[in-house]
Structure 1
Amino acid sequence: MRIAVVNWRDPWHPQAGGAETFAWEVARRFARAGHQVCYVTARAPGQSRRDSVDGVRFVRMGGVFTVYPLVLGWLLLYGGRFEAVLDCQNGIPFFTPWVVRRRTRVLCVVHHVHDRQFGVHLPGWLAAFGRFLEGPVSRWSYRRHASVAVSPSTVRAMRERLAWRGPVHIVPNGVGVAQDGDFAKSPVPRLVCLGRLVAHKRVHLLLDAVPELRRRWPGLVVDIVGRGPEEAALRARLPEGVTLHGYLPEEDKARLVARAWLHVSASQGEGWGLSVLEAAALGVPTVAFDVDGLRDAVRHGETGWLLPEGTELAKGLAAALDELDHTYTVKCREWAGRFSWDRSAERLTALLHGRDPGPGWEER
């Protein structure tokens, strides 16, 4: 097939996150299987307009908001070349059914419902417009097409909060972290936090918890890996024992995570929580709040702990450190071993061909 993968950013964009990892990992597998793949996305300063990586052709245009009309214009001109479009929603989708041929198969990929997050990142009027696009406009635009969600939480949110109609198939994230590295654990309590440094990730809650934890464990250290618009504000208030590393190459990040005793996510909601799976692959359990996505990625009492919203993070982390033993490492690796990007790409390929992908994550 000739497939267009349409995503807000590519994996080399300075603001790339888990959605970009998903789009890229499946796109390169489509190409490896012999499909012609074009990844259409925004263009960050310094990026080339056209590129080719691992058999995937990249076309870049526009910025945060202008990428949407520019991509629609590009598809209006060239969309007839494609039999299928993977339309990835990051808050709002690209509304590709408006411009491609009726017989073109479109799959809308939804990582998580953003309605509550629009108010965190945008002024009131723009947040309301975003919710209108994500809800009624998207629901109408994709009414004739199947959709993909990355977790049961996202399916539930689509049905309940967006009143989404039509079939929604679950295609989970894979895991790309090698599980066979020989990494030594830290001799002192060590916590790690992975992810983009944006407001809804609530990394400040972890910083607030550190002084109390260090009163009990004076040698406790915290590593924060990631970059984003909150970086300067967080760096200005780092308590003792905390290091903000910014971006790290994958091998260095894996080594740092593997040394940790716990991975921490204070996010107010995710589609899935790719960092949870990456940590689990390295035998590191996660402490997170019991919110969308994270309640799917973390198996409470087996691969980590889920805290009710409103719980003091310091108390939750202290309880996890007290309970932590080797069984969590074993169960984390077993859990992560159930996911792969190859299987995710196979399920998407079946859907793009119009076939039933068969029993999936939700039925295992």
Structure 2
Amino acid sequence: MNTAARTAALLERSPLSPAAPDALEILPARSEHRWLRIALVTETYPPEVNGVAGTVARIVEGLREFGHELQLVRPRQHKAEQAQSEAGFAELLMRGLPIPRYPQLRMGLPAKRALLRRWSFERPDVVHIATEGPLGWSALQAARQLRLPVLSEFRTNFHAYSQHYGVGWLRHPIHAYLRKFHNQCQRTLVPSEDLRATLAGQRFERLAVVARGVDTERFHPGRRDPALRAQWGAGPDSPVLLCVGRLAAEKNLELLLDAYATLRQRAPQARLVLVGDGPERERLRQRCPDAVFCGLQIGTALAAHYASADLFAFPSLTETFGNVVPEALASGLPVVAFDYAAAAKLLREGPAGRLVPQGQPTAFCTAVAELGSQPPELQRMAQAARAVALQQGWPAIVAGIEAHYRELLSGPEA
């Protein structure tokens, strides 16, 4: 199987996979510049299921479509896995270990020596580091020793997660590590202006904003499924409140249950559907036995779950972006979320949902109850939600990343 076919197969099993071409998207012109040799380093990749894996796969696919030569450096996901290699693409599989509490995911182990050896003989034009784990740190040190331009991405608030796992005392050391990591790179991409401003205030340097894309063909209102709604116990007039993501402490899901209880006071027939899995699943089920727990959903099944709901509630306060927000909008779902990250960027300019000021949980519950109990308002907002998502296609995002590569190679950093 060639790389393009393999990538398509992986994305079919990922939450960010393509479907029938039912949305028109204007593609940027193919780059007229010389192709680049890019080493892209990531701790996670499909078929692992998470937002980082899905978006990195989209970037790899887009860069290859632009004609660049890619070396993908990532942990080996199982012992028998073989690295893929063909013209213009090669994988370099490294050692990895399961991540605590998420054994289905792996983190890379230090590999500076191996990267030095490989990049000395096959020197990339630029090193793109997508994750800040041990493998990412090794790649950063190897690239600096070889004087290669390095671009990184700030993707996950690991320092914010620490307080939810009984290691709050690690918050400041983790934050210091992340700052040291990214400040050794020539450029760090962040997905939103508010995150750029926050990190700049914390002495992060050389930041640039590149948003995240969404597959508007995969996530589409046309995937609404009455049979799926019937499985949830929802009738035609039952408002379905949806949340998609890890069932984990850092996602603030206690507030989601509070919002659902407030909605039920106005619309007793309302249903709550949670898509995803994680360490909090049983505790959440015990607190809210009426909720529907659908477990992990991927590909077209995930898209159908989005489109079959009526309102998306996103109570998290620990995201760097929140890929689920544009996925919900693309599926025609109005969104209630706090005013930051993806929601702040995508909901502020149109009637596609409600933004709630951070630190106001009561206002979040009220917004969910008000919208969820007004089906005509939800239907009106659904069209606006879809229109917002159509502006977030992946080809333009990849073109923006490519432009940063070329600036690094032509600027004083080179």
Please, what TM-score do these two structures have when normalized by structure 2? 0.75
User: Using the alignment, how far apart are the partners of 1:332 and 1:236 within structure 2?
Assistant: 33
Runs of 5+ in structure 1 lacking a partner?
Answer: 358-364
User: Which residue matches 2:366?
Assistant: 315
User: Using the alignment, how far apart are the partners of 1:165 and 1:234 within structure 2?
Assistant: 40
User: Which residue matches 2:39?
Assistant: 4
User: Which residue matches 2:209?
Assistant: 170
Identify which of 345, 351, 354 aligns with 2:398: 345
Is the CA contact (8 Å cut-off) linking 2:130 and 2:136 kept in structure 1? yes
Q: Give the Å deviation of 1:236.
A: 3.8
Q: Give the Å deviation of 1:99.
A: 1.0
Q: Give the Å deviation of 1:47.
A: 6.9
Residues 180 and 225 from structure 1, CA distance in 2 versus in 1: closer, same or farther, beyond 3 angstroms?
A: closer
Pairs within 5 Å for 1:324-339 = 324-339=377-392
Runs of 5+ in structure 2 lacking a partner?
Answer: 1-35, 101-105, 227-235
Q: List per-residue Cα deviations over 1:279-306 (Å, max 9, x = no partner).
A: 1111111111223443223337611111
User: Which residue matches 2:125?
Assistant: 83
Is the CA contact (8 Å cut-off) linking 1:172 and 1:344 kept in structure 2? yes
Instruction: Point out the more displaced range, 25-34 or 97-106.
Output: 97-106
Residues 281 and 146 from structure 1, CA distance in 2 versus in 1: closer, same or farther, beyond 3 angstroms?
A: same
Identify which of 245, 252, 261 aligns with 1:202: 252
Pairs within 5 Å for 1:126-165 = 126-135=170-179, 137-142=180-185, 145-161=186-202, 163-165=203-205
Identify which of 41, 47, 50 aligns with 2:74: 41
Matched, 1:298 2:347: yes
User: Which residue matches 2:140?
Assistant: 97
Matched, 1:214 2:290: no
Is the CA contact (8 Å cut-off) linking 2:274 and 2:292 kept in structure 1? yes
Residues 300 and 30 from structure 1, CA distance in 2 versus in 1: closer, same or farther, beyond 3 angstroms?
A: closer
Is the CA contact (8 Å cut-off) linking 1:113 and 1:157 kept in structure 2? no
Residues 191 and 21 from structure 1, CA distance in 2 versus in 1: closer, same or farther, beyond 3 angstroms?
A: same
Identify which of 277, 283, 289 aligns with 2:332: 283
Q: List per-residue Cα deviations over 1:83-102 (Å, max 9, x = no partner).
A: 21111235898233321255
Q: List per-residue Cα deviations over 1:199-227 (Å, max 9, x = no partner).
A: 21112321233334223322211111112
User: Using the alignment, how far apart are the partners of 2:350 and 2:304 within structure 1?
Assistant: 25
Q: Give the Å deviation of 1:263.
A: 0.6
Is the CA contact (8 Å cut-off) linking 1:303 and 1:328 kept in structure 2? yes
Where 1:353 maps in the other structure, the secondary structure is helix
User: Which residue matches 1:229?
Assistant: 279
Is the CA contact (8 Å cut-off) linking 2:216 and 2:389 kept in structure 1? no
| Structure with bigger gyration radius | 2
Where 2:222 maps in the other structure, the secondary structure is coil
Q: Give the Å deviation of 1:107.
A: 0.7
Q: Give the Å deviation of 1:70.
A: 2.3
- The percentage of aligned residue pairs carrying the same residue is 23
User: Which residue matches 2:21?
Assistant: none
Instruction: Count the aligned residue pairs.
Output: 349
**Which letter does structure 2 place at the counterpart of 1:134?**
L
Instruction: Point out the more displaced range, 76-85 or 192-201.
Output: 76-85
**Which letter does structure 2 place at the counterpart of 1:314?**
C
**Which letter does structure 2 place at the counterpart of 1:141?**
Q
RMSD of equivalent CA atoms: 3.0
User: Using the alignment, how far apart are the partners of 1:216 and 1:356 within structure 2?
Assistant: 58
User: Using the alignment, how far apart are the partners of 2:289 and 2:221 within structure 1?
Assistant: 34
